Amino acid sequence: MVPARESTPAVETRALRRVFKGSRGSGEVVALAGIDLRIEHGEVFGLLGPNGAGKTTCIKILNTLLYPSSGEARVAGHDVVREAAEVRRRIALVSGGENAGYGILTVRECLWMFSQFYGVTSAEAGPRVDRLLAAVGLSSLAGTLINRLSTGQRQRMNFARGFVSDPEILFLDEPTLGMDVNAARELREFVMTWVREREGRTVLLTTHYMAEADQMCDRIAIIDHGLVRACDTPAALRRSVEGGQHVELEVLGVPEGLSEVDGVPIALGAPHPERGTHTIKLRLSDGGRLPLLLRSLEERGVAVRGVSTRETSLEDAFIAIVGRGLDDTGAGS
């Protein structure tokens, strides 16, 4: 039975949990510790979290590539375990850095091949492939063998592959990973236009890039250690930490285990590869406290090399919620 679209969300998970066996009997690894999500049709929804947070595991379960250990996941109203075939008819997956297709095929042949795996009719497949190639700027390379494409060109082709079936729900797993800035920006715009022009199409995006999530997503779930820590619009997430001053310090000689200064929690970044300095990020409710805090740091032997302040960003919200930045030490692996 086909669920009524109006009454069912595009994606829904309840207490979704996934545990992997550790390597060589090293116990269990909890990738998802019980995730509840509800994503409505027409949303661009972001899963934001550090490495090892459980983003890709969640995407794999929703794409019928993994069984959950417990809990429930439904895509377009269909259970991902019991109704996997129905789910697959409605979805497409693009993962950043993947190598789709075969080197001996041309770009157009590769996209055509994938359209056939999704049952796109012959009348539609050719024109759609051509339109997508134009959209990702690969028209002039349509007849080029894939093994002659640059990495960036291949990523664009892979990106286009996700759209050949005109999916109801598109999963983008770190889609701009390793792309140059311009290409990433163009592809983000492409996704947003695609969603805007097709009523009810849904995108679930996992990303490592704060700006990408901030720019693209209607709502964002911040995920860490297999749990959803917060879920709201980017603006609402920013508001949750608004007020005060966001300070970034470049410092030398940080004592081991430093996690707060004068009661202000800090996020300590990885050392700069050349300068050997660390970045300390913190938020002050009263900007006037900054000189006192700098003095406290110096008293602890920390040499402050640079100070900058800025507006509230999604990253600030992330740090406030998770307790560290995406690229900071302790982010897991």
Partner 1 sequence: MKTPRGDTAGAAPALAVRHTGARLFVQAMLARAHVRILGSLREPTWIVSDAIFPNLGMCAFVLLYRALGAPRSYEALAVVGGVLTTYWLNVVWGMGAQLYWEKQSGQLQLYFVAPCSRMAILSGMAIGGLVATLLRSLVGVAIGVWVFHIEVAPFSPWVLAGVFLLTMVALYALGMMLSSVFLLFGREAWHTANALQEPVYFLSGLYFPIRSLGALGMAAAGVLPLTLGTDALRQVLMGPAAQGLLPLPVEAAALAGFGVLFLWLAGRALEYLEALSKREGRLTQRWQ
Contact footprint for partner 1 (CB under 8 A)? 5, 20-21, 41-42, 57, 60, 63-67, 85, 88-93, 95, 98-102, 104-105, 109, 112-114, 116-121, 124, 128, 131-132, 134-137, 145, 165-166, 168, 186-187, 189-190, 193-194, 197-202
Strand order in the sheet with 28-39: 28-39, 11-21, 70-75, 78-79
Say if CB 128 and CB 92 are below 8 A apart.
no
Instruction: Spell 186-207 as b/e; 16+ CB within 10 A means b.
Output: bbbebbeebbeeeeebbbbbbb
Closest by alpha carbon to 140, among 153, 127, 123, 152?
A: 153
**Least distance to partner 1 from the beta carbon of 110, Å?**
9
Alpha-carbon distances of 85 from 62, 82, 145, rounded to whole Å: 12, 9, 32
Shorter beta-carbon distance to partner 1: residue 134 or 292: 134
Dihedral angle, C-alpha 300, 302, 307, 308, nearest 10 °: -80
Closest by alpha carbon to 42, among 73, 10, 74, 12?
A: 10
Interatomic CA distance for residues 102 and 159, integer angstroms: 15
Shorter beta-carbon distance to partner 1: residue 156 or 324: 156
CB proximity list for 275: less than 8 A, separation 6 or greater: 250
User: How many CA atoms, within 13 angstroms, populate the side-chain half-sphere of residue 40?
Assistant: 9
Shorter beta-carbon distance to partner 1: residue 118 or 209: 118
Structure tokens at 224: 């860490």
Dihedral angle, C-alpha 72, 75, 81, 84, nearest 10 °: 180
**Least distance to partner 1 from the beta carbon of 160, Å?**
10
